[in-house]
A and B are shown apart, each in its own frame.
Chain A
Amino acid sequence: DAMVIQNPRYQVTQFGKPVTLSCSQTLNHNVMYWYQQKSSQAPKLLFHYYDKDFNNEADTPDNFQSRRPNTSFCFLDIRSPGLGDAAMYLCATSLLQGAQNGYTFGSGTRLTVV
Chain B
Amino acid sequence: DQQVKQNSPSLSVQEGRISILNCDYTNSMFDYFLWYKKYPAEGPTFLISISSIKDKNEDGRFTVFLNKSAKHLSLHIVPSQPGDSAVYFCAASGSFGNEKLTFGTGTRLTIIP
* Docked-complex contact A42 and B4, CB < 8 angstroms: yes
Minimal beta-carbon separation of B89 from chain A (angstroms): 7
- For B49, give its contact among A97, A99, A105 (CB under 8 Å): A99
Interface residues on B, range: 20 to 34
In angstroms, Cα B9 to Cα A21, docked, is 29
Number of A-B contacts (CB under 8 A): 60
Determine the residue in chain A with the shortest Cβ distance to B96. A98
Number of residues on chain A facing chain B (CB within 8 A): 25
In angstroms, Cα B104 to Cα A105, docked, is 16
In angstroms, Cα B32 to Cα A35, docked, is 19
> Which residues of B are in contact with A by a Cβ distance under 8 Å?
2, 4, 9, 32, 34, 36, 41-46, 49, 51, 89, 91-93, 95, 99-106
Q: A40-B9, A107-B43 are in contact. List 12 more A-B contacts (CB 8 A).
A: A4-B43, A6-B43, A35-B103, A42-B89, A42-B102, A45-B102, A48-B100, A57-B100, A98-B95, A99-B91, A106-B43, A108-B41
